[in-house]
């Protein structure tokens, strides 16, 4: 007859124990007296032994579960012997399964038993801010990051992408020097291996800076993969840590292209593109979102012949339609081929190169293919919490304080349903840490700027013209950069500033910019919108001359029919 394995009562005051590690799996043969699992109480760590020879028939609780004493946690008996489906207490009282007990009062840790008050999993944009904020609020803080500090943003996203784009921008500007009277000889060429080494050096410096900030703030750094084995327990390497609050900042990874033949070595993710030491003659980009468009600008500037294939009817679906159209037209003028409404069917291989076959029969041969079809949350650290958290389309749901559905567990950045932007993730990290430290801090993301660092740049904030038009009567003002003195002086007259405002009160509902320093100009628009400054007031604010920001002022004036620069409608 099968024998029960109990959570022992190791002392008069012991009420519960935490399962730290199972030493045998269900179905494993065991001997009487053989250790089956390790448990931890407030005072000791100990082993629970097998009550007899046989097979471990059932494990009712997983690692990390906090279980009341004398609860049956498993059975040992003959192979095939039937045992209850659910655990019970001595006397037959049915108990919840381990995952359910994570939310029971019995599963709550005593504050004095915590090793750390704040644990941050992931050292990317949000994780760094969360750890620093917690430490500076006087909390004992630990951060887990096995790979490189900075996450995607620093290592294979924003920073390296902008380094490449600035190099491409310099190359483009150099082409205009002859018409300004400066002649370069011989012709400039691109040494991609040196470009990559330069990028790697800057990225390395940034990582070292981030690590120094953390250590100076007193954050304990663990360079291991971390996994939640309980709501208040984290395992990393061979160690287990008791934590009061956990902030999940695990980021995202590229989505793989789902098409036959997409496993060819020349088909790369956005992360892998930054490892190239050569400029591909023909670069094919699948996906016309922000990453795809920025890659197109950079590599076209380096000399690649670039083709973008986008499934949607326009590039940059999250931007105002007028901005998307302007970027597409600019690409075509620069020799970048754009195919919208293109659906990938499969890949073939000819002449040792990948060939994309679209559903309409179009075929495109390339030397390198970038699969830029999105990113998905990195959830491997969730462990036993994976079935306890609430999700929306595969992303962890959080509120305006970055709280998840479990008390003491927070989430920030790409892993959540609220952010795919580095600047949003940073603010979320600070809000989560502050809230976890007892000072609730709300983060509002409804006016997070969308930035595109292409050639030319583009940026947007608030409602698009179509969205605003559905909500009521609006005014729209524009200022072409061809009328802006800074644009004229730099030769960057391509693009415009577009302002959308409520006709009744002049409230700024949206601002959309293409050209010039769009990603810097958008900050003034956000400030004005956050402060509820109207188009009437912006149009009356003195702006320095000549500056890019004058175009925003003139667009506001144009919306109310008061611009002296823009021709009247």
Give me the tens of pLDDT residue by residue for the chain, a chain 569 residues long.
889 998 887 776 677 888 888 999 999 999 999 999 999 876 677 899 999 999 999 998 888 888 888 888 999 999 989 888 777 654 333 333 333 334 433 344 444 468 999 999 999 999 999 999 999 999 999 999 988 888 778 887 788 888 999 999 888 888 888 887 887 777 788 999 999 999 999 999 999 999 999 999 999 999 999 999 988 999 998 899 999 999 999 999 999 999 999 999 999 998 899 999 999 999 999 999 999 999 999 999 999 999 999 999 999 999 999 999 999 999 999 999 999 999 999 999 999 999 999 999 999 999 999 999 989 999 999 999 998 999 999 999 999 999 999 999 999 999 999 877 899 999 999 999 999 999 999 998 888 999 999 999 999 999 999 999 999 999 999 999 999 999 999 999 999 999 999 999 999 999 999 998 999 999 999 999 999 999 999 999 999 999 999 999 999 999 999 999 997 65
Q: What is the fold of 267-373?
A: FAD/NAD(P)-binding domain (3.50.50)
Structural tokens at position 66? 């906090």
H or E stretch covering 6: strand 3-6
How much is the pTM?
0.78
β-bridge mates for residue 30, sequence order? 54
H or E stretch covering 465: helix 465-471
Angle at the Cα of 314 (from 494 to 370), degrees rounded to 5? 90
Which alpha helices (H) appear in 30-141, and where do they start and end? 98-101, 125-136
Strand-by-strand arrangement of the 368-371 sheet? 267-268, 368-371, 282-286, 305-310, 337-340
Residues 6 or more apart whose Cβ sits within 8 Å of residue 371: 254, 256, 257, 262, 267, 268, 269, 286, 287
Q: What is the DSSP letter of 384?
A: G
What is d(CA 58, CA 545) in angstroms, rounded to the nearest whole number? 77
What is d(CA 264, CA 271) in angstroms, rounded to the nearest whole number? 16
Residues 6 or more apart whose Cβ sits within 8 Å of residue 469: none
- For residue 293, is the peptide bond before it cis, meaning its omega torsion is within 30 degrees of 0? no
Classify burial at 116, counting beta carbons within 10 Å of its beta carbon; exposed 0-12, middle 13-18, buried 19 or more: buried
- Domain spanning 3-107 has what CATH number? 2.40.50.100
What is d(CA 271, CA 304) in angstroms, rounded to the nearest whole number? 18
CATH class for the domain made up of 456-559: alpha beta
- Every domain of the chain with CATH number 3.30.390.30 lies at 456-559
Tell me which residue of 417, 29, 453, 65 sits closest to 232, measured CA to CA: 65
- Every domain of the chain with CATH number 3.50.50.60 lies at 116-253+377-436, 267-373
H or E stretch covering 19: strand 16-22
Domain 116-253+377-436 architecture: 3-Layer(bba) Sandwich (3.50)
- Every domain of the chain with CATH number 2.40.50.100 lies at 3-107
β-bridge mates for residue 349, sequence order? 354
Which alpha helices (H) appear in 233-289, and where do they start and end? 270-273
Tell me which residue of 378, 383, 390 sits closest to 99, measured CA to CA: 383
């Amino acid at each position: 007859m099968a024998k029960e394995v109990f959570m022992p009562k190791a002392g008069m005051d012991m009420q519960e124990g935490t399962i730290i590690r199972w030493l045998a799996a269900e179905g494993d043969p065991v001997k009487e007296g053989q250790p089956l699992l390790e448990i931890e109480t407030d005072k000791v760590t100990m082993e629970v032994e097998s009550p007899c020879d046989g097979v471990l028939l059932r494990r009712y609780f997983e690692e990390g579960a906090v279980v009341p004493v004398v609860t049956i946690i498993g059975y040992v008996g003959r192979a095939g012997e039937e045992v209850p489906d659910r655990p019970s207490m001595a006397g037959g009282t049915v108990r919840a399964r381990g995952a359910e007990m994570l939310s029971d009062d019995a599963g709550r840790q005593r504050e004095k038993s915590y090793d750390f008050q704040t644990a941050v999993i992931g050292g990317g944009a949000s994780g760094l801010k969360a750890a620093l904020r917690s430490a500076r609020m006087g909390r004992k803080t630990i951060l887990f990051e096995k790979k490189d500090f900075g996450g995607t943003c620093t290592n294979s996203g924003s920073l390296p992408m902008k380094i490449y784009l600035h190099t491409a921008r310099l190359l483009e500007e150099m082409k205009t020097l002859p018409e300004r009277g400066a002649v370069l000889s011989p012709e400039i060429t691109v040494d991609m291996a040196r470009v990559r080494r330069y990028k790697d050096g800057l990225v390395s410096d940034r990582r070292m800076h981030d690590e120094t900030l953390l250590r100076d703030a007193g954050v304990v750094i663990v360079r291991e993969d971390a996994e939640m084995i309980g709501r208040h327990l984290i395992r990393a390497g061979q160690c287990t840590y008791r934590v009061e609050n956990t902030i999940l900042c695990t980021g995202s990874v590229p989505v793989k292209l789902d098409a036959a033949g997409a496993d060819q070595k020349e088909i790369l993710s956005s992360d892998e593109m930054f490892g190239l030491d050569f400029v591909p003659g023909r670069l094919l980009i699948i996906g016309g979102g922000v990453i795809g468009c920025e890659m197109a600008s950079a590599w076209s500037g380096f000399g690649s012949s670039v083709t973008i294939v986008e499934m949607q009817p326009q590039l940059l679906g999250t931007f105002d339609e007028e901005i998307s159209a302007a970027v597409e037209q600019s690409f075509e003028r620069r020799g970048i081929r754009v195919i919208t409404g293109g659906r990938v069917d499969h890949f073939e291989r000819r002449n040792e190169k990948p060939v994309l076959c679209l559903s309409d029969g179009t075929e495109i041969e390339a030397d390198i293919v970038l699969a830029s079809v999105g990113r998905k949350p990195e959830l491997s650290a969730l462990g036993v919490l994976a079935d306890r958290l609430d999700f929306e389309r595969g992303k962890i749901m959080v509120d305006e304080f970055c709280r998840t559905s479990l008390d003491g567990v927070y989430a920030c950045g790409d892993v959540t349903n609220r952010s795919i932007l580095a600047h949003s993730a940073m603010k979320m990290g600070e809000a989560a840490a502050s809230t976890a430290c007892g000072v609730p801090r709300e983060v509002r993301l409804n006016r997070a700027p969308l930035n595109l660092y292409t050639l030319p740049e583009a940026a947007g904030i608030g409602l698009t013209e179509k969205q605003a038009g559905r909500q009521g009567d609006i005014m729209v003002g524009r200022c072409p950069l061809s009328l802006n003195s800074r644009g004229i002086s730099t030769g960057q007259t391509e693009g415009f500033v577009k302002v959308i405002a409520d006709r009744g009160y002049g409230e700024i509902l949206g601002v959309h910019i293409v050209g010039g320093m769009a990603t810097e100009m958008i900050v003034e628009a956000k400030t004005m919108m956050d402060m509820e400054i109207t188009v009437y007031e912006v149009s009356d604010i003195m702006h320095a001359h000549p500056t890019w920001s004058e175009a925003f002022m003139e667009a506001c004036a144009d919306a109310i029919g008061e611009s002296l620069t823009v021709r009247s409608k």
